[in-house]
Amino acid sequence: MDSKVKRFFDTLQNKKVAFIGVGVTHTRLIQMMAGKGIDCTLCDKRTAEQLGDVADELKACGVKFDLGERYLDGLMAYDVIFRTPGMYYNNEKLTAAREAGRVVTSEMEVFLDLCPCKKYAVTGSDGKTTTTTLIGEMLSAQGKTVHIGGNIGKPLLCYIEEIAPDDCAVVELSSFQLLSMRQAVDVAVVTNVAPNHLDVHGTMEEYIGAKKHLVVHQNAFSRTVLGADNEITRSFAELVRGDLRWFSRQGAVERGAFLDSEGYLCAAGENGVTRVVHRDEIRIPGVHNIENYLTAIAAVWGEVSPENIALVARVFGGVEHRIELVRELDGVKWYNDSIASSPTRAIAGLNSFSHKVILIAGGYDKKIPFEPLAPKIVEKVKHLILMGDTADKIQSVVLACEGYNPEALSIYHVDSMEQAVAKANELAVQGDIVTLSPACASFDQYANFELRGRHFKSIVNAL
Q: pLDDT, tens digit, for every residue of 215-262?
A: 999 999 999 999 999 999 999 999 999 999 999 999 999 999 999 999
Contacts of residue 255, Cβ cutoff 8 Å, sequence gap at least 6 = 243, 244, 245, 246, 268, 269
| pLDDT surpasses 90 at 277 | yes
Rounded to whole angstroms, what are the CA distances from 36 to 39, 61, 242, 363?
A: 9, 10, 39, 42
* Same domain assignment for residues 113 and 97: no
* Same domain assignment for residues 100 and 113: no
| pLDDT surpasses 80 at 1 | no
Chosen domain end from 89, 105, 121: 105
Mean pLDDT over all residues of the chain? 92
| Residue 437 belongs to some domain of the structure | yes
In this structure, what CATH number is given to the domain that contains residue 28?
3.40.50.720
In this structure, what CATH number is given to the domain that contains residue 255?
3.40.1190.10
Residue in 137, 146, 140 with CA at minimum distance from that of residue 118: 146
| Residue 55 belongs to some domain of the structure | yes
In this structure, what CATH number is given to the domain that contains residue 375?
3.90.190.20
* C-beta separation of 129 from 289 below 8 A: no
How many Å is the maximal CA-CA distance in the chain?
A: 70
Q: pLDDT, tens digit, for every residue of 435-463?
A: 999 999 888 889 888 999 999 999 999 99
| Residue 3 belongs to some domain of the structure | no
* Same domain assignment for residues 292 and 337: no
| Residue 7 belongs to some domain of the structure | no
- Give the whole-angstrom CA distance, residue 190 versus residue 295: 9
* Same domain assignment for residues 360 and 304: no
**Ordered alpha helix ranges (H), 87-203:** 92-99, 107-114, 128-141, 175-178, 198-201
With residue 65 as reference, give the H or E element that holds it.
strand 64-67
* Same domain assignment for residues 151 and 272: yes
What range defines the domain where residue 336 resides? 324-461
- Give the whole-angstrom CA distance, residue 381 versus residue 379: 6
Judging by DSSP bridges, how do beta strands 146-150 and 80-83 pair with one another? unpaired
**Model pTM greater than 0.95?**
no
Chosen domain end from 266, 281, 315: 315
* Same domain assignment for residues 170 and 276: yes
- Give the whole-angstrom CA distance, residue 391 versus residue 389: 6
* C-beta separation of 308 from 408 below 8 A: no
| pLDDT surpasses 90 at 44 | yes
Query: 176 — alpha (psi -120 to 50), left (phi > 0) or beta?
Result: alpha
* Same domain assignment for residues 433 and 294: no
* Same domain assignment for residues 84 and 121: no
Q: What is the pLDDT of residue 2?
A: 75
Q: pLDDT, tens digit, for every residue of 151-209?
A: 886 899 999 999 999 999 999 998 888 887 888 999 999 998 875 555 555 577 888 88
| Residue 8 belongs to some domain of the structure | no
| Residue 241 belongs to some domain of the structure | yes
Q: Any idea which of 57-71, 315-329, 343-357, 384-398 has the lowest mean pLDDT?
A: 315-329
* Same domain assignment for residues 89 and 149: no
E strands, 196-322, in order: 223-227, 243-248, 256-259, 264-269, 272-278
Structural domain count of the chain: 3
Query: 403 — alpha (psi -120 to 50), left (phi > 0) or beta?
Result: left
* Same domain assignment for residues 155 and 285: yes
Q: Helix 128-141 to helix 306-315 angle, to the nearest 10 degrees?
A: 120
* Same domain assignment for residues 140 and 283: yes
Banded model confidence at residue 127, pLDDT cuts 50, 70, 90: confident
Chosen domain end from 105, 139, 166: 105
| pLDDT surpasses 70 at 213 | yes
- Give the whole-angstrom CA distance, residue 231 versus residue 237: 11
* Same domain assignment for residues 273 and 355: no
Residue in 376, 384, 363, 438 with CA at minimum distance from that of residue 403: 376
* C-beta separation of 40 from 29 below 8 A: no
Q: pLDDT, tens digit, for every residue of 289-324?
A: 999 999 999 999 999 999 999 999 998 877 777 788
